[in-house]
Amino acid sequence: MFEDDLDSAYLSGQMLVAMPGMLDHRFEKSVVYMCAHNAEGAMGLVVNRPIDSLTFPELLEQLEIDSGDCGAPIRVLFGGPVEQARGFVLHSPDYLQDASLVVDENVALTATIDILKAIAGGMGPANRLLALGYAGWGPGQLDTEIKGNGWLSVDADDDLLFGADLDDKWDKAMAKIGIDPRMLSDEAGHA
């Protein structure tokens, strides 16, 4: 197999959509943006689960950051069950730091206090979402879950990724694939 063929099998920059039969309640009806996926494992952020118990201004206050001019409201999301006290900002590449991971030409990931200060001061990226925690998979684990009918993949777009309507992201992702979730079985090999 050629190197390019190996790279194309990975899902960095794609979105995962939980199948209706997802057994892990933490990912039920989740849409996950894949920040990294390679032979060592995978890392992504759930982009459609708000944390209703914490607002962005409250988070800034906890971090002793002046809330200044935050501009458009930013919701705090449940990014996944790993390291839930750690914050990640998924954003457009119009704001980059040395510590930013450029996922593709449209999306970067930054996990520093500086990006939160920039957002609070109205100087952050145009498109952004803030997540606490992340979804992580060990070597081969995500591939096994996909083969086991746990996830579908779909191309990322700005609306699915940064759109404000969190409640409809799962349905929109399924529709983008061309699937009516009511017609899916939760067992592999069955329609």
pLDDT of residue 5: 35
Q: Answer yes or no: is 115 within a domain.
A: yes
Q: Is residue 128 part of a domain?
A: yes
Query: Which position has the token pair 């390679």?
Result: 38
What distances in angstroms separate CA 45 from CA 13, 93, 181, 187, one per listed residue?
11, 17, 22, 25
pLDDT tens digits for range 120-143: 888 889 999 999 999 999 999 999
Residue 26 lies in a domain: yes
Is 146 a residue whose pLDDT tops 50?
Answer: yes
pLDDT reported for residue 60: 87
Asked, for residue 185, whether it belongs to a domain, the answer is no
Read off the CATH number of the domain in which 22 is found.
3.40.1740.10
Residue 167, classed as helix, strand or coil, is helix
Task: Select, from the ranges 4-8, 55-59, 88-92, the one with the highest average predicted confidence (pLDDT).
Answer: 88-92
pLDDT of residue 61: 87
b/e burial code for range 37-55 (CB count within 10 A of at least 16 → b)? beeeebbbbbbbbebeeee
DSSP state of 150: -
What pLDDT score was predicted for residue 185? 54
Q: Find where tokens 């109205």 sit.
A: 122
Report, as an integer, the average pLDDT of 77-101.
94
d(CA 132, CA 3) in angstroms, rounded, equals: 34
Residue 69 in this model has a pLDDT that exceeds 80: no
The predicted pLDDT at position 91 comes to 96
Instruction: Choose between 60 and 131: higher pLDDT.
Output: 131
Q: What is the mean pLDDT of the chain?
A: 86
Please state the rounded mean pLDDT for residues 151-166.
93
* 0.85 exceeded by pTM: yes
**Cα 79 to Cα 89: distance, rounded to the nearest angstrom:** 10
Q: What is the mean pLDDT of residues 153-175?
A: 93
In a domain, 32, yes or no: yes
Establish if 53 belongs to a structural domain. yes
Mean pLDDT of all residues in 161-167: 92
pLDDT at site 6: 38
The pLDDT-based confidence of 79 (bands split at 50, 70, 90) is: very high
**Structural domain harbouring 62:** 3-173
**Total number of domains in the chain:** 1
In a domain, 184, yes or no: no
pLDDT given at position 10? 86
Structure tokens given for 24: 């892990």
Within a domain: 190: no
Q: Where are the alpha helices (DSSP H) in the chain?
A: 3-8, 56-62, 113-120, 141-147, 158-162, 169-177
- 152: three-class secondary structure by DSSP: strand
Torsion angles phi and psi, residue 141, rounded to 5? -65, -45
Q: Which two tokens stand for residue 48?
A: 């459609």
